[in-house]
Structure formats: C-alpha cells, structure tokens
C-alpha cells in the first residue's frame, strides 16, 4: 500500500508544528513548507527526530514553488498566513492572494488530492456569546476594523468559490492554547507580577481548545468524506474569561490562592493608545507590525468569542482530550522550562 503524503503550509507556526508532528506520527510523508529565512524551533523542540518530515523553504506568493511541491500530494493543509500588519492590504496580500495561488496550484495537480483543509479563524465569523455562540451555518460577519478577521473571511469566500474544483474543508480555530504558544506569554508575565487584567465593561467569555485536540480535529477533516465542503469549529465544552485564565495560571503555575490577584480594569481608550504607541515605535524602528496593534482592539472588546463544536462532535466524532486546566498547566510549565517566565 502506497504511503500517504501531506503538504503543510506554515508548518513552523504554533498549530502548524503540532499538525506536522501529528501527521508524521501517523506514518504520513509530510512536507513542511516554511517561509524562507524562518526557523523551525518549535517543530524541532516537540518532534526532534523529524521522522517522515521534509522541511522545504519557500513563499506562499511563489506560484512556481507551490506548483512544484503540491504535485502528487494526498492531503494539503493550509496554515500559512499573516497575523499582524499595519493595514488591511498587509493581511490580504498573503491570506487571500497567497491562498489563491495555492488553490490554482492544486487545481492543476488535483488527480491524487483527497483533501485540502483550510485553517481559517473564528474571527472570520465575528463574535459569539454564551447565549448565542458561533455555529457554522450562522452568517459570518467579521468585526468592523478587525483586519485579520476580515482577511480570513475573504479567504473563506475565495475557498468556497473553488468548492466545485477542489475537495475543501474549512476549520475555524477559536483561542488555541498549549505548549509553545507565545501569544499568551504576556498574560503569564502579568500574573507573575500578581496582576490580572480585565477589559472595561461586562465580563466577556471565550472558547478555547488545546493545540493537540485541534490538530486531531484538522486531520479528521482530511479523512472524513462528510467534511468536504463543510466548516468546523473545535472547542472545549467549558468557556472561560481572561480573568478565569489568569486565576488558573496563578493557582497552577505560581502556586498562589484563587482570588489573590490584583484586578486592573483597562478602558478601551488606554488599550487603543498602547496599540498606537507600539505601532509608532515599530514603524520608527522600521520593524514589522507588532502582534498587538490597533486592529486587534475591536476583537478584545467584542461581546465574546464563544463557539459551538457540536457539529464536529456529531459528524467527525471529535471530542477534546484535555480540560482547560490541563492545557493551561501544560502551557505554563512549558513557559517555565523555556525560561520565558
């Protein structure tokens, strides 16, 4: 029996590293496509042997490179994308144009392609609350001025236009946690100081998922024929707020009592000011845009980021392995082991 093959764009990112590891452990010959000049620190850390993995440098905007590497692949997982930028054009250049180049390359080499899984974001659909969580058949409405969410929404619209040509499935991750996640690092550092930040206004809840649980879900989308043409959310059943996560970190990582943190309320104007200042400094130093920028502020103050994973449970038979507390503990211990906190 011929060994299956997979092509993963953005394979050295947080989710991409875990997905590459998972695929390789299933015996799938996996091509890890990474941006030229970037490293594979996380992938090599969590999967030192790199068995069944071939690392290839390239660019999602290079049509010839894409055509060459997608040829003959059974599974293609698209995770490459821009998560920070100064303008909508910065996000769209890769998230939309790069995705179109990938689709065109796949369309010309689709004979052996069994599934093309597009990893989007719950931001593409807007916000969800405990009373009205995001579900897959709800009309997607990205939050106004959320450049990342808008670009992912446009990417999904593009993907749907290729549904007749390619066997596409779309995954919309919510907040993804786990070892190696640098996005939440600032919260750990803040909690270490004995502080928990609370955005001004009502308490906001969000769904989270462990990165390993998510990678299993992504692979199920590639294997299950019922996933073709569908969109899926994957999340833990429990929802949390930023305050809840801070309390878990305080208790499990720093061994302090629940409720011992000093709460600081952050008004919207202050967060916007910080984001503007960070952008100004980065531009002055001719650096890429900071991860936290003005386009992130609307999402932070949205009513919630709650999704429902009921569809994935019913159609794919997916269910999470880790509880939120277990995930945060694993993530925090990793940060300590790396000397990051």
**Start-end of H helices in the chain:** 14-25, 41-46, 63-70, 88-92, 99-107, 147-160, 185-192, 211-223, 242-252, 268-284, 297-300, 310-311, 324-337
Split at pLDDT 50, 70, 90, the class of 133 is: very high
- DSSP SS3 for 248: helix
Q: What is the pLDDT of residue 291?
A: 80
Q: Is the pLDDT of residue 285 over 90?
A: no
Mean pLDDT for the stretch of residues 234-253 = 96
Tell me if 166 sits within 8 A of 232, measured CB to CB. no
Q: Tell me the average pLDDT of the chain.
A: 95
Q: What is the pLDDT of residue 290?
A: 79
Q: Which residues contact 126 (CB under 8 A, 6 or more apart)?
A: 134, 140, 141, 142, 143, 149, 302
Q: Is the pLDDT of residue 1 over 80?
A: no
Q: What is the pLDDT of residue 2?
A: 82
The 10 Å Cβ neighbour count of residue 10 is 24
The 10 Å Cβ neighbour count of residue 258 is 9
Residues 10-21 have pLDDT tens digits of 999 999 999 999
CATH code for the structural domain at 5-177+207-237+304-322: 3.40.50.720
Question: What tokens were used for 161?
Answer: 């236009």
Q: Is the pLDDT of residue 5 over 90?
A: yes
Which pTM value belongs to this model?
Answer: 0.94
Distance CA 31, CA 28 (A): 9
Q: Is the pLDDT of residue 110 over 80?
A: no
6/293: higher pLDDT: 6
- DSSP SS3 for 77: strand
Q: Which residues contact 78 (CB under 8 A, 6 or more apart)?
A: 9, 10, 99, 102, 116, 117, 118, 119
Question: What tokens were used for 247?
Answer: 């309390």
């Amino acid at each position: 029996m011929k060994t299956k093959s997979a092509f993963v764009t953005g394979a050295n990112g947080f989710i991409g590293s875990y997905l590459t590891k998972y695929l390789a452990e299933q015996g799938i010959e996996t091509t890890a496509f990474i941006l030229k000049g970037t490293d594979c620190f996380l992938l090599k850390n969590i999967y030192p042997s790199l068995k069944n993995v071939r690392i290839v440098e390239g660019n999602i905007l290079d049509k010839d490179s894409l055509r060459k590497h997608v040829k003959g692949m059974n599974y293609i997982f698209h995770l490459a994308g821009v998560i920070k930028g100064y303008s909508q054009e910065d996000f769209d250049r890769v998230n939309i144009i790069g995705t179109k180049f990938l689709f065109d390359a796949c369309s010309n080499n689709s004979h052996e392609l069994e599934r093309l899984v597009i990893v989007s974001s719950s931001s593409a659909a807007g916000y969800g609350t405990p009373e009205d969580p995001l579900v897959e058949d709800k009309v997607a409405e990205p939050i106004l001025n959320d450049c990342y969410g808008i670009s992912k929404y446009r990417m999904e619209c593009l993907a749907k236009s290729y549904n007749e040509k390619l066997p596409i499935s779309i995954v919309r991750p919510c907040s993804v946690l786990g070892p190696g996640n640098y996005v939440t690092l600032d919260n750990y550092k803040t909690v270490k100081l004995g502080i928990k930040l609370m955005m001004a206004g009502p308490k906001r809840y969000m769904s989270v998922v462990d990165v390993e649980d998510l990678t299993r879900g992504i692979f199920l989308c590639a294997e299950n024929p019922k996933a073709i043409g569908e969109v899926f959310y994957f999340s833990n059943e429990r929802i949390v707020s930023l305050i809840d996560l801070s309390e878990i970190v305080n208790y499990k990582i720093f061994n302090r009592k629940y409720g011992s943190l000093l709460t600081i309320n952050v008004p919207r104007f202050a967060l916007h000011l910080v984001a503007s200042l960070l952008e100004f400094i980065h531009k002055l130093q001719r650096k890429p845009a900071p991860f936290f920028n003005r386009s992130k502020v609307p999402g932070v103050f949205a009513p919630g980021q709650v999704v429902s994973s009921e569809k994935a449970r019913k159609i794919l038979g997916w269910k999470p392995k880790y509880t939120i507390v277990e995930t945060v503990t694993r993530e925090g211990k990793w940060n300590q082991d790396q000397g990051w906190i």
